[in-house]
Chains A and B, each alone.
Chain A
Amino acid sequence: MLRITGLCAAVLLCQSSHAANTESTFNPAFSLILSGTYASLQQDPATPATGFAMNPNPGHEQGFNIGESEMGISANIDPQFRGTATLALDPAGGVSVENAYVQSSSLGDGFNLKFGRFFSGLGYLNEQHAHAWDFVDQPLVYAALWENQLGEDGVQLKWLAPTDMFIELGGEMGKGRGFPGTDRAKNGSGAGVLFVHMGDDIGVEQSWRAGLSLHRTRAVARESTDVPDLSGNAVTNQFTGDSRTAGLDLVWKYAPHGNIKERYLKLQGEYFRRTENGDLAYDTAGVNVSDSYAVTQRGWYVQAVYQFMPRWRTALRYDSLDSGTASVGAANASNVIADYAFKPSRTTVMLDYSASEFSRIRVQLASDQSRQHLSDTQFFMQYIMSLGAHGAHSY
């Protein structure tokens, strides 16, 4: 009897383990990125770039910092759809949804549909996740104009032309929740993006991609704190108006024999120009004077990444910002700074080592001249480790 029970138990165990196996084969691909930095800064990272106090300042964390660990889950939902979610685990606790979107590649005729929360396809760097960046931080222009990266809740439709050369047209409609937009309760689209990407190979050793992007949104009562004014005070302002941005991006890569495992060189540059037009409410906590306000901000960077031997890469980047000269309505002419007469810039060098495709250790040194009279030498060390499924990287 005992023997029979034992046999039954064994059979049941076998069955259950078999069932578990079949279930696990349907499990989505799961990945985890562990990263951390050590930063040594001479200036307070909370100080924004001069002329950009009304823009976001993602800045840096000083000292040891485990940064955000990123958890990714993706799988085909059915033959039509594929789902991807990326959750950022905040070191202080809490989870934020970085990406959560559904993609359909089965529309055919070169159409690709994405909906949910995703990184906008504008520019070149915007779609890349932090673990794929070539530096510890984003270029100044991405930090100031896109708060590092523009995420969107909405829909993206792309169409790839049936040509020998890569020509892709894309459009996005979204809520416009991230800077430069503001989250508003409203029907319809709060932000729109249009982009065109082109690219090709030149022989087997070189390849390139160029892009043009347009972004449009509206900000309502977008609040900025600690904005310097003409009397030398720090006030809180609110901007309401339209925001239009145009961007250009270009990437060129070279690898001897096309073999990127050994050596490669990557050159890239992007330029963004944003015009905002509307009303600025000055010192909302005090006098609260509102009048028209319009400004055009610009920024660009160029960088080179060179893998000089397998596993080792070095890189150089130059950043520049221009806060422009604002046209300030008469009521605020003696309050709001129209021209800062200073162009923030930064030069960064980087060296990294990857023991395998799944780990990377990096040191970075930057000479930051983005804040007037506050020149900063910034030193960083970083690790980026990737566990579990390792999805394919985009170009």
Chain B
Amino acid sequence: MKKIISTLCLLLLSNAAHAALNVFACEPEWAALTQELAGEQANIYTATGALQDPHRVEARPSLIAKARRADLVVCTGAELEMGWLPVVLRESGNADVQPGRAGYFEAASAVHMLEVPTHLDRGDGDVHAQGNPHIQTDARNFLPIASALAQKLMQRDPGNKAFYQQRLNAFEQKWRAALARWEQQAAPLKGVAIVVQHKGFPYLSDWLGLHEVAVLEPKPGMEPSAAWLAQVLDTLQQHPAKIVLRAAYQNERPSQWIAQHAHINAVELPFTVGGSDAAKDLYGLFDDTITRLLKGMQ
């Protein structure tokens, strides 16, 4: 009897020691990063897919139920999720993951933001007060974010502090090597003129030295009209570009129209993990992004 009880106790204890953190990741890139840092210590739920416009997500019942059980919410922040996350968190009845609480993590707070507007006016379209939120397109950003996220994981699961530290060290080493490789591969992209469909790539441009000459959306978040596209085409006569970029979740028509009329290549980038077959994890995301950019140059 004693033996049974002690075995049960051991089982319970070992279970408790291995109780994984429930992580609610707003976007696939943060799910992938959490996976890198926490491995099997985390049960990760990804709230949005690579083929969904991250600005336009609904506060679905399933999201609220997942947030209810989360120990940690990992999101981009910078108002990217403002259309749905506040409702999800409020309705979840989970006090720990409310903004500002210990179970809430924003990746944007760990990096330097670009395109922070100097004045805010809805006439300028869907602009974010804290800057452009698409920070995941610059691979360099993952180093400070990984470090901050690992700190958060240690705080939420202090029992596995050494484990997270070790995973972070390993990630940083591997990521630095990958960065050097990507930057070398992407050297021919430096100074290349590009057109973007949505202002989704300032961080990518900043990293690889791409030169953005035009945007297909008349204002952020607004679909381009035929008249507007004709105007962009005019701009391209004076400032020729090599490629037109769009994210996997975006409608292909505007960039294909421009590609056809301006005789440039349309390139679809995965934008996040899962945005293409090759973008299976964070490494695949940037391998594929650079491969597609280089291919678009030909």
- The closest CB in chain B to the CB of A251 belongs to B61
Among the listed B65, B82, B96, which residue makes an inter-chain contact with A166, where contact means beta carbons less than 8 Å apart? B65
| A-B residue pair count with CB separations less than 8 angstroms | 131
> Is B60 part of the contact surface with A, judged by Cβ < 8 Å?
yes
Q: Is B58's CB under 8 angstroms from A253's CB?
A: yes
Q: Which residue of B lies closest to A82 (CB)?
A: B90
Q: Are B53 and A160 in contact (CB under 8 A)?
A: no
Q: With A259-B249, A393-B59 in contact, is A160–B82 under 8 Å at CB?
A: no
Asked if B86 contacts A257 (CB within 8 A), the reply is no
Chain B, 214-253, CB within 8 A of any chain A CB = 219, 221-223, 249, 251
- The answer to whether B100 touches A79, judged by C-beta atoms less than 8 angstroms apart, is yes
A107-146, CB under 8 A of B: which get 1 and which 0? 1111110000000000000000000000000000000000
Determine the chain A residues whose CB is within 8 A of the CB of B69 once the complex forms: 162
Q: Interface size class for chain A?
A: 35 or more
Residues of chain A contacted by B144 (CB below 8 angstroms): none
Consensus secondary structure, chain B interface = loop
**Chain B CB within 10 A, most for which of A161, A163, A356, A393:** A356
Contacts of B55 in A (CB 8 A): 261
| Chain A proximity of B277: nearest CB distance (Å) | 15
Confirm or deny: A47 has a beta carbon within 8 angstroms of a beta carbon on chain B: no
Contact of B222 with A356 in the complex, beta carbons under 8 Å: yes
Q: Is B83 part of the binding interface, using a Cβ–Cβ cutoff of 8 Å?
A: yes
Complex: A370 Cα to B221 Cα, angstroms:
42
Which B residues are in CB contact (< 8 Å) with A162? 68-69
Please measure, in the bound complex, the distance between the C-alpha atom of A355 and the C-alpha atom of B225, giving whole angstroms. Answer: 11
**B93 A160 Cβ-Cβ under 8 A:** yes
A290–B58 alpha-carbon span in the complex (Å): 52
Q: Kindly state whether residue A258 has any CB partner on chain B within 8 Å.
A: yes
Tell whether A163 pairs with B56 under 8 Å between CB atoms, given A158-B93, A311-B223, A393-B83.
no
Residue of B nearest to A388 (CB): B122
Residues of A153-209 whose CB lies within 8 A of B:
158-168, 197-201, 204, 207-209
* B97-133 Cβ-contact flags toward A at 8 Å (1 or 0): 0101000000000000000000000100110000000
- Chain A contacts to B: CB under 8 angstroms: 79, 82, 103, 105-112, 158-168, 197-201, 204, 207-209, 253, 257-262, 310-311, 355-358, 387, 390-395
